[in-house]
Structure 1
Amino acid sequence: MTLKAEACRDSAEFPPFMANHLPMILVALDRLCASAERLDAFAQTYRAEHGLRPQPPAQAPLGVEDWMSARGQRSREADLRAFFSRQVAAHGGAATIAAYLPGLAPGMAGSALHPLMRLAYAVMTEDEAEIGAALGFWAATYLPLDEAGRGPGVTTDPAEVLRRAAVLPGVAEAEPESDLVWHNMRAVAQVPSFAGVADWLIIHDDTLDRMAAASLALYAATMSFEALHAVTGCHWLRLLRPVVADPAPLLRHFWVAIAALMPKMGLPEIPTAAQVAAWRQTPAPDWPAIMAAAAASDDEHDPSLTFSAFEEWRRTGDTLYRVVAAKRVALIA
């Protein structure tokens, strides 16, 4: 059995409700030119440090009529993964995504957006088995934050959504039950004033590009764990574009999740264009050095961020991606 196939068998989370990155990071490391020996070493270290576990025991088969009854139930992970794997085997990955992702989109905050990561990597690598696993992971950890369709849009600027969300009454005082990212999202979403945030952003063809720019600026300003996921998340959304007919629900609910993390980031100010332009001038090593440092790291977020940043840099040419990646892997201060 290959390293990746072995990694894919495990539960999508490990205690306490942390996302298992191993199936995706093995792909990222390969794209960063890591050797087979490095992939094996990373997998052994990751498995030992995090205590990866098997999926919970299957309870009962799920069908087209009743799979939604198991949404949000981590104890049904095996049943949900089996259901979606059967759908992929019968209809193909792209058709299964088209049929079921609209119903899953509102719950994309589950497991701190990592089902989105797993699905995006599965699509990128054309791995049909992983598409089924990712959809099952998404369904098992389904976490809706805010309903859409309750009010008119207010802005086309994703950064403005973050500014407005940060000053909503009660948001700064939200008390999550733990420091887990998705617990923070959920606590903020339960603040009464947060209702309706899903409708604020007016979606256009360039919305994902504007989200990516805002995420990069926010990460450069904070270098925070949460803003890192905004940068990588925009890359994951872009990977899904070929198989998603209408990206608006995904974009909408992704950005609600990022808005819900503003308190955990410390309610940062959105940097100005002048600040961003100045950061772009920061001297940084070239990509081969950054990629080598990321591939050598045992922190899964180093190769994750570096791979996404490199891919977004290739698309945009924005040198700030190289700067933040170099900072992330401690090549520059």
Structure 2
Amino acid sequence: MDTTGTADDTTGTLDEALERIHLSGPERDGWLSNHAPMAVEALVRHGQARTAHRWLDRYRDRLEAMPGPDTPVTADNWRAALGDPRRIADWARHFERETAERPWREVLAEWWPRLLPGIAGGATHPVIRVGHAVRTLLTTEPTGPRVTELAHALGYWAARHQPLPGTRPPADTAAPSSAAAALDAVPAVPDQSGGINHRLEQLTVVPAWPGAPADPDTAHARLRELVRASTHRYAGFGHGDPVMLVHAATAPNAVLRTLPALPRELWAASLGAAWAASAAVTAAYSPAEPVPYAPAGQTPEEIFERAAAHGDDHTIKFTDTALDVGDGTALAAAVRSIELNVPFL
């Protein structure tokens, strides 16, 4: 694995890129997510710092200015502002203040259980952005731009907070024994047309995995299993929707990356939310049948270099997750994402 990652970035590339990104809001065209902070973090992490600014130059046409503020979010009114995308700037400013006044871990621990039920918000992009920000803060110096990135990520999640529709386990059905079996058992939503909100509104039944509540260590192990299974699944099923299905893996991996920064008593609930997000995306977009796929035939470094050259933000992020998993099937899945998604050139 390439060791010239974010922790060794002495060029200031990541901070410079984040400062550029923070002039923009987290969305464009009213709802499309700004993927720049996540993609840039992954590029720098995997030794592609030299390409980060060039990639961002190409991406700048997809950035919009941060919306104007409305009313400050406070300890008294935050519940009313939760899930209100019109308050994106208010939420960003709130978390900028919070992380300026208190350690970032303390802010994260307070807000994680409040935000976790809304993990599906913004098609899971906010929690993914949080995962990238926390990974950087856990492994590098907590510079101003890196802490601000966490603040903006949390603010985006709060503004797009969206609980999943009420679901229930299938009647008289035992919980699948593995994450892979549980994903295989997820029934597709009836109407596979329309956007993610239309699809998620149809969710009524999901398999109950994992079965019993987990202690923290078991929750951590099961979450790793879920990330591995959802990454592997993309290799055969990614053709159903090559962009959206990456989130079945990248969303739970964002939660996994965040666990070390959280109190252990929050780990079991984090597993439950990660499973709900992965199952929901699987139900919304997974095709009926898998297709064959070939072995990767390249090293992890070569595959990530291909993803960076390909340039698609979802491909970069999914390849980043596949390299976290690191086995042959995960690398084959990363190659599939390069093959299936449209290059961003």
Q: Match for 2:52: what amino acid?
A: L
What residue number does 1:216 align with?
A: 231
- In the alignment, which residue of structure 2 is the partner of 1:158? 179
2:186–2:207 contact (8 Å) kept in structure 1: no
* Alignment-mate amino acid for residue 257 of structure 2: L
| Match of residue 111, structure 2, among 79, 95, 100 | 100
3-state SS of paired residue (1:145) = coil
Query: Could you say if the C-alpha distance between residues 283 and 140 of structure 1 is closer, same or farther in structure 2, counting changes exceeding 3 Å?
Result: closer
Match of 2:200 in 1: 186
Which whole-Å CA distance do the structure 1 matches of 2:167 and 2:339 have between them? Answer: 40
Cα pair 2:248 2:282 within 8 Å, conserved: no
Query: In the alignment, is the contact (CA less than 8 A) between 2:169 and 2:208 conserved in 1?
Result: yes
From the superposition, tell whether residues 283 and 94 of structure 1 become closer, same or farther in structure 2 (CA, over 3 Å): closer
2:42 equivalent among 12, 24, 28: 28
TM-score using structure 1 length:
0.81
Q: 1:312 aligns with which of 310, 325, 332?
A: 325
Give, in whole Å, the separation in 2 of the partners of 1:163 and 1:325: 20
- Which residue pairs with 2:280 in the alignment? 260
Structure 1 partner of 2:75: 64
Structure 2 counterpart of 1:212, one-letter code:
V
Give the conservation status (yes or no) of the 8 Å contact 2:230–2:278.
no
Match of 2:32 in 1: 18
Matches of 2:184 and 2:325 in 1, distance apart?
24
**1:247 to 1:288, Cα distance in 2 relative to 1, 3 A:** same
Match of 1:290 in 2: 303
* Aligned equivalent of 1:244, options 259, 262, 272: 262
* TM-score (normalised: structure 2): 0.79
Structure 2 distance, partners of 1:154, 1:129, is: 44
**TM-aligned CA deviation for residue 160 of structure 1:** 4.3
Change (3 A) 1:232 1:93: same
Structure 1 pair 326–56 and aligned structure 2 pair: CA distance change class (3 A) = same
CA–CA distance in structure 2, aligned partners of residues 124 and 19 of structure 1: 20
- CA shift, 1:286, in A, is 1.4
- Which whole-Å CA distance do the structure 2 matches of 1:58 and 1:16 have between them? 16
Q: Does 1:140 align with 2:151?
A: no
Counterpart secondary structure, 2:66: coil
Amino acid at match of 2:333: V
User: Structure 1 residues 161 and 16 mapped into 2: Cα distance closer, same or farther (>3 Å)?
Assistant: farther
The aligned amino acid for 2:308 is A
1:232 aligns with 2:247: no
Q: Show structure 1 runs of 4+ deviating over 6 A.
A: 148-153
* 1:83-141 Cα deviation digits (max 9, x unpaired): 12211222211101111110110101011111111111111111221221111100000
Partner AA of 2:268 in structure 1: A
Shift of 1:211: 0.8
Report the Cα distance in structure 2 between the residues aligned to 1:149 and 1:297, rounded to whole angstroms: 40
Where does residue 140 of structure 2 map in the other structure?
none
1:301 aligns with 2:320: no
- SS of residue matched to 2:288: coil
- Counterparts of 2:89 and 2:16 in 1: how far apart (Å)? 21
**Paired letter, 1:220:** A
Q: Is contact 1:74-1:140 (8 Å) kept?
A: yes
C-alpha contact 1:305 1:325 (8 A) present in aligned 2? yes
Secondary structure, counterpart of 1:282 in structure 2: coil
Q: Where in structure 2 are the equivalents of 1:171-182 lying within 5 Å?
A: 171-173=189-191, 178-179=194-195, 181=196
The AA in structure 2 aligned to 1:121 is H
Deviation (angstroms), 1:188: 2.5
3-state SS of paired residue (1:125): helix
5+ residue gaps, structure 2:
1-14, 138-145, 341-345
Partners of 1:121 and 1:236 within 8 A in 2: yes
Query: Match of 1:72, as an amino acid?
Result: G
C-alpha separation in 2, matches of 1:142 and 1:301:
21
Q: Could you tell me which residue of structure 2 aligns to residue 116 of structure 1?
A: 127
Q: Number of matched residues? A: 305
Aligned to 1:84: 95
Following the alignment from structure 2 to structure 1, what is the Cα–Cα distance between the partners of residues 332 and 112? 34
- Any idea what the Cα deviations from partners look like across 1:41-95, whole Å, max 9, x if unmatched? 21111112x2x11122101111112112111111100111111221122221110
* Structure 1 CA distance for aligned equivalents of residues 302 and 110 of structure 2: 42
Q: Alignment RMSD, CA only?
A: 2.9
In structure 2, the partner of 1:207 is: 222
* Offset of residue 154 of structure 1: 4.8
